[in-house]
Chain A
Amino acid sequence: MIKQRYSRQELFAPIGTEGQQKLANKHVVIVGAGALGSANGEMLARAGVGKITIIDRDYVEWSNLSRQQLFTEEDAAHAHTKAKAASRRLQAINTSITIEGVVEEFAAETAEVFMEDADFVIDGTDNFNTRFIINDACAKWRVPWVYGGCLTSYGIVLAIMPGKSPCLQCLIDQIPQQGRTCDTVGVIAPAVQITAAYQTAECLKYLTGYEMSQELLNFDVWERKHVAVNVSPLINPYCPSCSAKATYPFLMKQQGIQTAVLCGRDTVQVRPAQTNTLSIPALAKQLKPFSDSMKDNGELLIFTIKKNRFVVFQDGRTLIHGVSDVEQAKKLYQRYIGA
């Protein structure tokens, strides 16, 4: 390793060479490789965290490039999966650490596998359904994590130490309706960067042996407003997610085909009951006669039939664009891809 690589971080007294050594032996799991996942991923890779796993279910689109810093025009043009594109870039940034890109949905069925050897989890998701799964999985495995959300010029951050500080479920007893999302009211990169900076800072603090902040922090970078509220009194001793009597409601496994409406995108994700590796070439051959256009980029099969664009992943998951009705999406999935 080049000796000078981490010198400026080691000169920072709270970290020092001792803290740097600790970072080299830690594993951080980043759920979501969008804007927050990218920004956190880049900082943690440059900081020298020994292993980073980055999980994402989506692929790169042109509208991502304004703020999702790990991706390039080439990634958007070829519709590379975010997890693989992100892991390639992170590995190029730091070849001395281990990077794992996982093209998968972080779901109730799979979440706990990622907890087994995680030292810390970063929330890089764009929806509360997945955040509540992170919340339950981290609570059950006692893995600390940091929630981050941003929209327009606003951002919010909360570090969560399961059992010791209030969890997401303690603060909010229902999943908020997502009327306003990045796809409907937009977001600017400075809001992303500040949110991610606070997330990474809490992560580095924890990994080098310090206590995390108990403040729920929010800001508006356009209006230059900052508010921090100490939420430690809000820990709920009967919380279904983080108390001694927890039932982890969001880790209940679902039966049958799963669907998720991707907010504001006129897109439904359909996930088969059992994920198994799909033969993309075989599916391509079978669907070619019905498709108006078709592209196989080695990771995904993308084709259009009438007004719907289908993006099929190797695990059988499919994003169907041009549909917002779940039942309609299931029908389309069963008709073309399988049960």
Chain B
Amino acid sequence: MELHVNGETLHFAKDTMTMLDLLEAYDIEEKVAAVEKNKEIIRKTDYSQTNLEDGDRIEIVHFVGGG
């Protein structure tokens, strides 16, 4: 399937995946500050039940510590 993640179009071999799968693929799960799917914010507790579909627009914002 095809997902638009932070403005980039990405292709995934899988046909079904959850938000948790996506975050794990990025290996930044613990640094995630907020996640949006099609402009709707997703709560942390819902990541594993949020199914992603072809064409979904995802925004992932992650924390950084520097300053």
Contact = CB atoms under 8 A, between A and B. Distances in A.
Contact of B59 (A125, A131, A229): A229
A126 B66 contact: yes
B34 A171 contact: yes
A192 B44 CA distance: 29
A219 to B, nearest CB: 10
Interface in A120-161: 123-128, 131, 148-151, 154-156, 158
A205 B7 CA distance: 30
B66 A181 contact: yes
Nearest to A192: B67
A234 B63 contact: no
A277 interface: no
Contacts of B6: 225, 227
A123 B59 contact: no
Contacts of B62: 156, 218
Contacts of B64: 149-151, 154-156, 180
Query: Looking at chain A's contact residues, is the secondary structure mostly helix, strand, loop, or mixed?
Result: mixed
Interface string A274-297: 000000000000000000000000
Contact of A234 (B31, B43, B59): B43
Nearest to A196: B67
B41 A151 contact: no
B67 A34 contact: yes
B33 to A, nearest CB: 5
B30 interface: yes
Nearest to B28: A176
Contacts of A171: 33-34
Contacts of A34: 67
Interface in A173-213: 173-174, 176-178, 180-182, 187, 192, 195
A149 to B, nearest CB: 4
A149 B63 contact: yes
Contacts, number: 84
A66 to B, nearest CB: 13
Interface residues of B, number: 19
Given A176-B31, A216-B33, A227-B59, A234 B41 contact: yes
B61 A174 contact: no
Contacts of B67: 32, 34-37, 123-126, 148-150, 182, 192, 195
Contact of B66 (A149, A172, A173, A234): A149
B36 interface: yes
A256 interface: no
Interface in B1-22: 6-7
B65 A127 contact: yes
Contacts of A178: 65
Interface in A256-308: 263
A150 B61 contact: no
Nearest to A154: B64
A230 interface: yes
B66 A218 contact: no
A156 B61 contact: yes
A111 interface: no
Interface string B31-67: 1111010000101100000000000000101111111
Interface of A: 32, 34-37, 123-128, 131, 148-151, 154-156, 158, 171-174, 176-178, 180-182, 187, 192, 195, 216, 218, 225, 227, 229-231, 233-234, 263
Interface of B: 6-7, 30-34, 36, 41, 43-44, 59, 61-67
21 contacts: A32-B67, A123-B67, A126-B65, A126-B66, A127-B65, A131-B65, A150-B64, A151-B64, A156-B64, A174-B30, A176-B31, A180-B64, A181-B65, A187-B66, A216-B61, A229-B34, A229-B41, A230-B41, A231-B34, A231-B41, A234-B41
